[in-house]
Structure 1
Amino acid sequence: MSISTRTPADLHIEKRDLKFGRNDPPPRWWHGGDVGRTAFFNALSSTFPVGEKFFMTAVRHYREGTPQPLRGQIDDFLYQESMHTREHVVFNRQAEDAGFDIAPLEDRARRTIAWVKRRSPLQQLAATCALEHFTATLAHDALANPEHLAGASEEARRMWQWHAIEEVEHKAVAFDTYLHATRHMTPFRRWLKRSIVMGVTTLRFHYVIFRNTADLLRQDGRNDFATWRKLLAFLYGRPGTMRLLLKGVFTYIRPGFHPWELDDRALVTQSLASLRVPAAKVQRV
């Protein structure tokens, strides 16, 4: 039994080997000197190495037996996520070099992933789908609204822009893998499982990110009402990336949802032009 997908037939997920900030590491408050915004993005980055390794494991578990082109897309997804892991490890080490203690943040993310790993492989895949939807939503918003990274140091901005581009490119790989893995389920059971997992994932995601943000603000002596008021206005005002993320949760739990119902490849093309990726850094296979 096969499940239909709305992933574009001509979708190409690029393999890029890009490195950022090796010769020009970002300053301590790399996001325009803003303590709150820097803390939020650093908190997000602290979760990526362990999180993306988990994504790779969850999707790879179902690779065998998947039809083409999905199997090839899984391989491309694994490559891109491995590159994201490498670059965020570097980014997190640079935050440590700037004086932040990142280890407690990474430990919190690791404990959360360990909790998820005690669930079945299918639940782990459903959690990956939910988190990939978060990253795709944040990525689309970052590319569509450059003001989110306005004032960021050049190399940090380029790294986040590159990450966003690739999150959009592979945004449906985990979801299509889930559709294949649940092809013998009724549509209602398939929808119910992913919706329940999305609810739990939303709560745990917000807990980890905001606890991590608070830890970093505390290290700067700025975990106070004034800093949080400014940061939350940035995150939940307009265009407010976290406001759009919450809106995306309700989009995701709608029956019949698919990540590519929003075809934002034109946005990726536009963003790639501004990123100016050297042709030699793109692997064609």
Structure 2
Amino acid sequence: MSDMSQTPAGLVIEKRNWKFGRDMLPRRWWHGGDPARTAFYNALSSTFPVGEKFFMSAVRHYRDGAPEPLREQIDDFIFQESTHSREHIFFNRQARDAGYDMTSSEDRAARTIAWAKRRPPIMQLAATCALEHFTAILANAVLADPAHLAGADVEAQRMWRWHAIEEIEHKAVAYDTWLHATREMPGWKRWALRSFAMLAAAVRFHYVVYRNTAELLAQDRKNNPRNWWRLLRYLYGDPGLMRMLAMKMFGYFRPGFHPWQHDDRALAARALATLTPPLVTPLPR
């Protein structure tokens, strides 16, 4: 582990093989009967399978040269991300079963990832660090304020909360891999590369998610100012999921930043207690 890592000693990144919603019939507007909130979360979900595959590949590239315990954390990260991908593939299939055409949304995410994969491996890792910072912020917000998922179908709430818990658990793995991979790089260059990657990731993330949201709303004939006003008030007002992202992403540009400078393990533990018993027994470590 890099001397610059601030990951808590003894951090456990649990391998859980949990499955959600297998016995549930899909509901078109699963988020409280609200087409706009449903469209936003479906749009977000459409990016996860291809995005998480990219994250796994970017971190795995540096696994063999990593020291313990980072190598073990990379393995745990890959396991968690693979199960997230599997569950979001199923979630997206449920959206299809409810009548949505997800092809355009998934293709847009795939094109963005294809663009990122044309960058050198170190920049792919930098992009992964930036997007993992996004998911950590969103995860904290979802777990800290039940209003984000209030009214959503119970099994959908469980899936999103489980995903958030695991994003918090592994939130520094990509960043610690970055610190190790760039350990001989001048500090100013390390900062410049990760900052550039964050700016590019922020632009592309917002573009893909909101374009996908608009297209899904259009399929319901709900892509109009009234529904966008309600959605933006929800995302940037109260409870403000994307407002939290906008406010907290800038901490990433601070020299000396590390994801575990914000220790939210207790928040994740409290949320985990609400999801027990698991649908599938956790795998042995």
The answer, yes or no, to whether TM exceeds 0.5 is yes
Secondary structure at the counterpart of residue 15 of structure 1: coil
Q: What residue number does 2:69 align with?
A: 69
The match for 2:103 is 103
Q: Is the 8 A contact 1:43 1:213 kept in 2?
A: yes
Identify if the C-alpha distance between structure 1 residues 279 and 10 changes in structure 2 by more than 3 Å, giving closer, same or farther. farther
Structure-1 residue corresponding to 2:147: 147
- The Cα shift of 1:2 comes to 4.3
Residues 1:219 and 2:219 are matched in the alignment: yes
How far apart are 1:278 and its partner, in Å?
A: 3.2
Is the partner of 1:67 in helix, strand or coil? coil
The answer to whether the 8 Å contact 2:143/2:267 transfers is: yes
d(CA) in 2 for partners of 1:167, 1:2: 21
Secondary structure of the residue aligned to 1:283 is coil
Give the corresponding residue for 2:253: 253
Matched AA of 1:34: D
Q: In the alignment, residue 13 of structure 1 is paired with which amino acid?
A: I
Counterpart secondary structure, 1:218: helix
Alignment-derived partner of residue 79 in structure 1: 79
User: In structure 1, what is the Cα distance between the partners aligned to 2:24 and 2:280?
Assistant: 21
- Structure 1 position 26, deviation (Å): 3.4
Query: What does residue range 58-207 of structure 1 map to in structure 2 within 5 Å?
Result: 58-207=58-207
Code of the aligned partner of 1:129: C
Equivalent residue pairs, number:
285
1:43 has 2:36 as partner:
no
| Alpha-carbon distance between aligned partners in 1 of 2:26 and 2:179, rounded to the nearest angstrom | 40
Distance 2:280 2:29 in 1: 32
Q: Which runs of 5+ in 1 are unaligned?
A: none
Q: Deviations over 1:221-243 (max 9, x none)?
A: 00000000000000011330101
Q: Distance in 2 between matches of 1:275 and 1:25?
A: 20
Residue 248 of structure 1: how far off its partner (Å): 1.9
Structure 1 moving runs of 4+ over 4 Å: none
The CA distance in 1 between the partners of 2:206 and 2:148, in whole Å, is 19
1:76 positional shift: 0.2
Structure 2 residues not aligned, in runs of 5+: none
Report if aligned partners of 1:26, 1:156 keep a CA contact under 8 Å in 2: no
CA RMSD of aligned residues (A): 1.2
2:268 is matched with which residue? 268
Q: Counterpart of 2:240?
A: 240
Task: Give the superposition deviation at 1:266.
Answer: 0.4
Q: CA deviation at 1:279?
A: 9.1
C-alpha distance in structure 1 between counterparts of 2:6 and 2:202, whole Å: 24
Q: Which residue of the partner structure matches residue 24 of structure 2? A: 24
Q: Cα offset for 1:246?
A: 1.1
* Contact kept? 2:58, 2:125, Cα under 8 Å: yes
Query: TM-score, normalised on structure 2?
Result: 0.98
TM-score by length of 1: 0.98
Q: CA separation in 2, counterparts of 1:65 and 1:218?
A: 48
Letter in 2 for 1:151: G
8 Å contact from structure 1 (residues 132, 171) kept in 2: yes
1:158 and 1:260, CA in 2 relative to 1: closer, same or farther beyond 3 A? Answer: same
CA distance in 2, matches of 1:23, 1:172: 34
CA contact (8 A) 2:17 2:281 kept: yes
d(CA) in 2 for partners of 1:148, 1:202: 21
What is the one-letter code of the residue matched to 2:78? L
After superposition, the Cα gap between the structure-2 partners of 1:176 and 1:277, relative to the gap in structure 1 and judged at 3 Å, is farther
Residues 156 and 26 of structure 1, relative CA distance in 2, 3 Å threshold: farther
SS of aligned partner of 1:52:
helix
Distance 1:75 1:170 in 2: 11
| Residue in structure 2 matched with residue 4 of structure 1 by the alignment | 4
Q: CA deviation at 1:4?
A: 2.1
Distance 2:75 2:25 in 1: 31
